[in-house]
Amino acid sequence: MSAMVNINGRLLDTEHAVISVFDHGFLYGEGIYEVVRTYDGVPFLFDRHMRRLRNSGAMIRLDLPVSDVEIERRVLETIAAAGLGTDGRDAYIRILVTRGVGEITYDPAACPEPSVVIIVKPHVDAPPSAYANGVMVSLVGVLRNHPGTVNPLIKSNNLLNNALGHQEALRKGAFEAVMRNYRGEIAECSTANIFIVKDGVVITPPSDAGLLMGITREFLFEVAQEIGVPMREQVLQEADLFGADECFLTSTTRELVPIVRVDEHVIGSGTPGRITATLLDAFRVRARVLVGGSTR
């Protein structure tokens, strides 16, 4: 795997990429992150990811120490150092900002300078079978964080809640975990947003269901509007999920993946649906049009 890491502006290979054990990202999980992918070598929706990164930072009172322009410069430098973007291979980019190195205390004043880490490695698509045949997901017992604890709107480095939910799903042989909120409503997947299709309308939980507002989710609303597919937010219960005509998940690295089964419940016909396929095709076309017009 050709991977490169940029730590506070320094390029390092995976063997030498280290960060202090006194960094509060390690000690307490105090930090934020974004995952970006490239299409045709261009970071996709980079500005939107930076907007969300800064919003996450504001919610934990963590200011980014460098500009978006500088972060983008480091990203492109790291992509080039990894040998990606010019050989037809797209890149997976993970941008992390932590509270920084300091004494063992919760006081943020102990950390004078945040750490900025960029990890770049080859992007790997979901298996072709996931798109052709759909996947099984599991409705897990781990609840999504209550917004009054660690708000899911914060894309936090502290991912124990997501990890526990995803691990439960993996033990069941599932592709993803579907997580409920404290009210028992469908919130999101452990690493993705979730959508159902019912009577020709695409429906996804609202932000107050306790979920991360995905960048792909946001972009898909625009795509759906362009091609005339009705899409809206609505509180979803288990019965809505089990009774859906179609179902799919969205994420930066996997675009749209059809869901054909939730545990023992078959969704619709048990095969990827027409509206899901239409949205995926339109998403991919618009994504490449967008990067083709980029000046970056």
Q: Which residues are catalytic?
A: 155
Residues 11 and 6: their CA atoms lie apart, in Å, by 4
Asked whether the beta carbons of 241 and 260 are under 8 A apart, the reply is no
Q: 274-292 and 215-227 are packed helices; what angle lies between their axes, rounded to 10 degrees?
A: 100
Asked whether the beta carbons of 256 and 279 are under 8 A apart, the reply is yes
